[in-house]
Chain A
Amino acid sequence: MAAPYVELHCHSAFSFLDGASSPLELAARAADLGYEAMALTDHDGLWGSMEFATACRGIGIRAITGSELTVSADRSGGSSRHLTILVESAVGYRNLCGLVSEAHAGTRERPDRRAGRPSISLDRLEGRTEGLVCLTGCAGMGLVASTFEEGRLESGRRAALELLEIFGRDHLRIEIQRPFWRNDMARNRWLEAVAAKTGVPTVATGNVHAHLRERSRLQDAMVATSHGLGIVESEHLRRGNTSSCLVSPDEMAHRFRCHPGAVEETVELAGRLTFELDRELGYRYPGAGDPGTDARLRELCTVRFDALYRGTTREGEAASRLTEELGVISRLGLSGFFLLHHDLLELAREVAVEVRGRDSARSVLPPGRGRGSSVSSIVCYLTGLSHVDPVEAGLFPGRFLNDEVTSVPDIDLDFPRDIRAELILRIHERYGTERSALVASFPTYRVKGAVREFGKALGLPSGEIEKVARAAGHGRDPSTLSGDLERLLGSERASSKGWQSVLDLTGQACGLPRHPSQHPGGMIISTDPLTDVCPVVPASMHGRQIVQWDKDSCQDAGFLKIDLLGLGMLSAVERCVDEIARVRGERVDLSRIDLDDEEVFGAIRRAETTGVFQIESRAQMQLLPRLLPRDLADLAVQIALVRPGPIQGGAVHPYVERRKMLRRDPEYRVPYSHPLVRGPLGETLGVIIFQEQVIEVAMEVAGFTASRAEGLRRAMSRRRSHEAILAHRESFMEGAGARGVEPAVASDVFESILAFSGFGFPKSHSVAFALLAYQSAWLKVHYGPEYLCSLLNEQPMGFYPPDSLVQEARRSGIPVWPPDVNASMFECTTEWEDSTDHPVRDSADRRREGPGVRIGLGYIRGLEEEAGSTVVREREAGGIFETVPDLASRTGIGRPQMELLAWSGALRSLSAGDDTRALWDAGVATAGGPATAGQMRIPLPLEPIAGLPQPSAWDRLRAEYSTTGISFDAHPLELLRPSLDPEVITTTAATDSPAGEEIRTAGLVTTRQSPLTAKGTVFLLIEDECGALNLIVPRRLADRYRQLIRTARLIEVQGRIERDGRTVSLVVRHLARIELPAPELEGSIPAPNSFEAGR
């Protein structure tokens, strides 16, 4: 029997802080309850509509698209009210997108660009309602229903008549609801009367806010949060009971048994709302359908082909690959798509010239470079989208481009940050703001934020909240929260109703979208106005706008998405090239450097890769001496290995062992699980390392078509569906059986595919990244100071905090000097000598020793850019500063900023290295506050002060940490050493200890990792005055000491040395916090870089 009711008013978590369930949860629950169709009507947006449509399609429910629109009903004399708008046809969908876009248009008008509440004036709906059905709105805020509660019945009736005029009788319904509030029955009787008077039917809706009754509490807490109120104070804004959850069609019919016509109307109306969002969008990218594009793309490729391949040994292969790729592209109608990308890159080239300057050393670098699977395409190489020769690198575009691809392939382009920022604005200019926008992203609740928000809403003591939140880390996995509560607050507080409620709410909220944001670089470009296919809203950054869909929804919509990613390392490399030119007068062309430089590979094999792109992490550094990469291909494997896919798929150990065996014995025969995998897995010695190997293995072993194999890969990589994977497994086993593969072997192969799960790099991506890794290593080896300087200027980026980069550089012989008003620029710079600490020496000697790095004044926290720039400007104009009063007089810098300079050590050259003197002078010289503009202070001569106490080494350290975050004078361990037990050895001594030896050591925690793949094990990197050491904290211990691990900066550890080749780690058995002589010091020590598992 057909369901008697269709839900036409439902909010998901994409109503941000008003709905408490995801579209997927709602769709699945609706299916369980026997719904045949259902609408999603989030507030002023279609943020979750595509996700809802695809979820519904997957489980056999018909999704109805809609939105609850906020209208400012000026003509009715009221403030903002709601209307439920449902889409009937494609025209209606276009209208709704336009209305939602307009409602958001003015939401970023405040100077700080914080989002205001969207709303659209009722009269703006006139003439834009074709294909839309309007329900008159919810019980509390609906344009018509709300007037009942307010006693403005006449105004409600008038509003109904206005809507009748705007939408017409066929497209308007009087909405009645039963939220189980006090006046429901009276209100609904009145609404029936309004319906009779206006001659339109009533329709019943549930105004659903959660898929399960238990979620209603989360909805309550979210509403309190959204208004910045406590749960008690928000009573008048909350729903007041749990009846707004999704219940069965029968229960809804029963709930409205006094209004049978309104229930029947839900089914009647739903029957008319046949628009299918996931099939009827009508999106076209620029150039689609233009018959001339094939020829233009061919011509473009041919010109570049002649330059790059003609006359080379690769010419024949390249020519046949080009013909084949152009054929596929033409058959798929994608020539325009490639031309568009080429166009964008040309635009990027123009932007690059402007941003870099025509004559800069980095002007020879390409404006950006491809990453991801597109790097395997020869067309991408020839059109400049990728910088890797796919013929030479042995890359094949199977995954990226084949006759069976069902969606537009992704092309990802990396740009230096400065070029990218400008390029986004220029794309808006070139294609028009109506036709280009950034992709949205939806930050989801994490444990820490959820504990803070819900704890505050529930009125828990802020001290307790902070304690729990700080221990919670940054992840989305709330499973350890219960244990944390008990440990941190004691069992009595942990089991209190308030904390148990926060525990429940956090568990429910984690993973739900919290607010809309901007994707780092995804852009959508369209032929027709984008507001015809998806609402477009202003972004928080000026001049940018976003579509209301995230990358998954955009992909489901078939949008052409271009990823313009800002890559910090590209910026650093460009800076470095410029810095080398400035310092040494050499112009480095990275496209022409020797790719087999033994010195560079030697450093890589010794894992001297701190600060090098991709291969600097703890895990990468430990693997380098075991894999011993010899060329770029090895480096590509190295980069791809340390990913969740190969790690979980168990590929790392066998690969490393097989490499070792092959090094020892070139005749070694690699054991393959089946002869059929020898083809796809030959180059990776029988294990799956690259993403496309999943596809190739499925094709070889089970005879999957390319698109079926791609379907398997996608099923695993995104929103994993257990049913979908099971279906793939069945076909895989069947296909493998038909090819004579034993069921046990086939099952093993499938399991290895599943374990890989798609969380790995495509080979093309690894190859592209390997090149950048090599280039950055080359710069580090040959131009270490300039490279360090560039890294410091591009922070934050990479694996290590600046202090670790500096300490490592100093250990390897690169001098790093603190900021100084007589030497520093605003940014860090490379210098040939420290002109402030030492008398000028023979410059030829210095040049032989190589340059060092001077920390910029901009590194001093709290120093205003204006103050820093004034110091540099005045020094360059008037020569070096002689005394502190001279500085104060010439720059007019006020006392707090001057004291900051003194505190950071930047005045040492004016006080003969005496920090106390500098601080004293700064205070005296600026007494009376800053000089006013145009009225310079008279430099008063200072009397030398005798007998001022000198700061201790700890004072100096604290000053350095709290101003620049970098220690220059002494490492804290150096100062602590005398007070440590003599058995506590240095990290260098620990590294030299034999395997199995039990040792004690201590250090400053510089990085902390708890990767998902490590299942609770925590990896720490500690550093002392001699070097660094990796610590492995097993899960049991990590659980016990979790708070210590998360908060302690300096630790002492005891454990067993583990060695694997040249890789050394300490498996920790005991750890303790080192108490510092001055407790306030601990807070000034820079926090380690932390990489924690998400969910």
Chain B
Amino acid sequence: MKGLDSGAGSHPYPAHRASVIVDDEGLPTHVGGREVTSIRESWLVEEGWWSSRPLHRHYFELVTVSGNNLTVFRSLPEGAWFVQRA
């Protein structure tokens, strides 16, 4: 499972801008003000390099302090964060 199925754009699960704070290594520590207690998975999607709309995203599957599971991604190269709603 390489993870493209969590993509945004035309995907049935829309993504929304999120405010994310990261540590020195670029790993998220807070999402929408809530502290991240663990990172369960992280993966990279680099697709569509042959098209005018290349996709480069770094995904994280997180657990926040409130016990919620969240999938967020950082869209590269601009660096904006999105949260993926299931």
Please list the residues of chain A having a beta carbon within 8 angstroms of any beta carbon in chain B: 149, 179-186, 216-217, 220, 231, 235-236, 239-243, 458, 497-498, 501
- Given the contacts A149-B1, A240-B4, A182 and B47 also touching, CB distance less than 8 Å: no
Asked if B45 and A241 make an inter-chain contact with CB atoms under 8 angstroms apart, the answer reads yes
**Bound state CA distance, A239 and B3, in angstroms?**
11
Distance between A153 CB and nearest chain B CB, rounded to angstroms: 15
When distances are taken between beta carbons in the complex, the residues of chain A under 8 Å from B41 are 182-186
- Given the contacts A149-B1, A240-B4, A182 and B50 also touching, CB distance less than 8 Å: no
Q: In chain B between 33 and 86, which residues have their CB closer than 8 angstroms to a CB of chain A?
A: 40-47, 49-52, 59, 61
For this complex, 5 residue pairs linking A to B, each with C-beta atoms less than 8 Å apart, are A182-B2, A185-B41, A220-B49, A241-B43, A242-B46
Asked if A217 and B44 make an inter-chain contact with CB atoms under 8 angstroms apart, the answer reads no
Any chain A CB within 8 A of the CB of B6?
A: yes
Asked if A184 and B50 make an inter-chain contact with CB atoms under 8 angstroms apart, the answer reads no
Asked if A243 and B50 make an inter-chain contact with CB atoms under 8 angstroms apart, the answer reads no
Asked if A217 and B49 make an inter-chain contact with CB atoms under 8 angstroms apart, the answer reads yes
Distance between B37 CB and nearest chain A CB, rounded to angstroms: 15
- B3, B40, B50, B51: the one contacting A181 at CB < 8 Å is B3
Asked if B40 and A182 make an inter-chain contact with CB atoms under 8 angstroms apart, the answer reads no
Asked if B51 and A184 make an inter-chain contact with CB atoms under 8 angstroms apart, the answer reads no
Asked if B1 and A181 make an inter-chain contact with CB atoms under 8 angstroms apart, the answer reads yes
When distances are taken between beta carbons in the complex, the residues of chain B under 8 Å from A501 are 49-50
In the complex formed, the residue of B with least CB distance to A216 is B46
Distance between A236 CB and nearest chain B CB, rounded to angstroms: 8
- B6, B43, B61: the one contacting A180 at CB < 8 Å is B43
**Bound state CA distance, A1090 and B3, in angstroms?**
49
**Bound state CA distance, A181 and B52, in angstroms?**
24
Asked if A184 and B43 make an inter-chain contact with CB atoms under 8 angstroms apart, the answer reads yes
Asked if A182 and B52 make an inter-chain contact with CB atoms under 8 angstroms apart, the answer reads no
When distances are taken between beta carbons in the complex, the residues of chain B under 8 Å from A184 are 41-43
Centre residue among A180, A183, A185, A231 by max chain B CB count within 10 A: A180
Asked if B3 and A231 make an inter-chain contact with CB atoms under 8 angstroms apart, the answer reads no
Asked if A183 and B45 make an inter-chain contact with CB atoms under 8 angstroms apart, the answer reads no
Distance between A285 CB and nearest chain B CB, rounded to angstroms: 49
- Given the contacts A497-B51, A497-B52, A182 and B46 also touching, CB distance less than 8 Å: no
What is the 8 Å Cβ interface bit string for chain B, positions 1-38, against chain A (1 contact, 0 not)? 11110100000000000000000000000000000000
In the complex formed, the residue of A with least CB distance to B57 is A241
Distance between B30 CB and nearest chain A CB, rounded to angstroms: 21
Asked if A241 and B6 make an inter-chain contact with CB atoms under 8 angstroms apart, the answer reads no
- A180, A220, A236, A240: the one contacting B42 at CB < 8 Å is A180
Asked if A180 and B44 make an inter-chain contact with CB atoms under 8 angstroms apart, the answer reads yes
Asked if A183 and B44 make an inter-chain contact with CB atoms under 8 angstroms apart, the answer reads no
Distance between B28 CB and nearest chain A CB, rounded to angstroms: 15
Asked if B46 and A181 make an inter-chain contact with CB atoms under 8 angstroms apart, the answer reads no
Please list the residues of chain B having a beta carbon within 8 angstroms of any beta carbon in chain A: 1-4, 6, 40-47, 49-52, 59, 61
Distance between A628 CB and nearest chain B CB, rounded to angstroms: 59
**Bound state CA distance, A241 and B46, in angstroms?**
5
**Bound state CA distance, A235 and B1, in angstroms?**
11
In the complex formed, the residue of B with least CB distance to A140 is B2
**Bound state CA distance, A790 and B47, in angstroms?**
58
- Given the contacts A240-B3, A240-B44, A241-B44, A182 and B59 also touching, CB distance less than 8 Å: yes
Asked if B47 and A235 make an inter-chain contact with CB atoms under 8 angstroms apart, the answer reads yes
Distance between B5 CB and nearest chain A CB, rounded to angstroms: 8
When distances are taken between beta carbons in the complex, the residues of chain B under 8 Å from A240 are 2-4, 44-47
When distances are taken between beta carbons in the complex, the residues of chain B under 8 Å from A181 are 1-3, 43
In the complex formed, the residue of B with least CB distance to A149 is B1
Sort A-B residue pairs by CB-CB distance and give the 9 closest, nearest first. A182-B3, A240-B2, A241-B44, A180-B44, A241-B46, A501-B50, A181-B2, A182-B1, A182-B43
Asked if A497 and B50 make an inter-chain contact with CB atoms under 8 angstroms apart, the answer reads yes
Distance between A222 CB and nearest chain B CB, rounded to angstroms: 13
Centre residue among A183, A458, A498 by max chain B CB count within 10 A: A183
Other contacts beyond A241-B46, A501-B50: 9, CB < 8 A: A181-B3, A182-B1, A182-B43, A182-B59, A183-B1, A216-B46, A235-B47, A242-B44, A498-B50
In the complex formed, the residue of B with least CB distance to A230 is B50
Centre residue among B4, B41, B50, B59 by max chain A CB count within 10 A: B50
When distances are taken between beta carbons in the complex, the residues of chain A under 8 Å from B6 are 182
When distances are taken between beta carbons in the complex, the residues of chain B under 8 Å from A216 are 46
**Bound state CA distance, A493 and B42, in angstroms?**
38
**Bound state CA distance, A243 and B2, in angstroms?**
12
In the complex formed, the residue of A with least CB distance to B54 is A497
Asked if A185 and B3 make an inter-chain contact with CB atoms under 8 angstroms apart, the answer reads no
Distance between B71 CB and nearest chain A CB, rounded to angstroms: 10
Distance between B67 CB and nearest chain A CB, rounded to angstroms: 19
When distances are taken between beta carbons in the complex, the residues of chain B under 8 Å from A231 are 50
Distance between A223 CB and nearest chain B CB, rounded to angstroms: 12
**Bound state CA distance, A149 and B41, in angstroms?**
14
Centre residue among B2, B3, B4, B51 by max chain A CB count within 10 A: B2
**Bound state CA distance, A241 and B59, in angstroms?**
12
Distance between A496 CB and nearest chain B CB, rounded to angstroms: 8
Asked if B40 and A235 make an inter-chain contact with CB atoms under 8 angstroms apart, the answer reads no
When distances are taken between beta carbons in the complex, the residues of chain B under 8 Å from A179 are 2
Asked if B44 and A243 make an inter-chain contact with CB atoms under 8 angstroms apart, the answer reads yes
When distances are taken between beta carbons in the complex, the residues of chain B under 8 Å from A458 are 50
In the complex formed, the residue of A with least CB distance to B39 is A185
Distance between B77 CB and nearest chain A CB, rounded to angstroms: 13
In the complex formed, the residue of B with least CB distance to A224 is B50
In the complex formed, the residue of B with least CB distance to A186 is B41
Distance between A498 CB and nearest chain B CB, rounded to angstroms: 6
**Bound state CA distance, A242 and B43, in angstroms?**
11
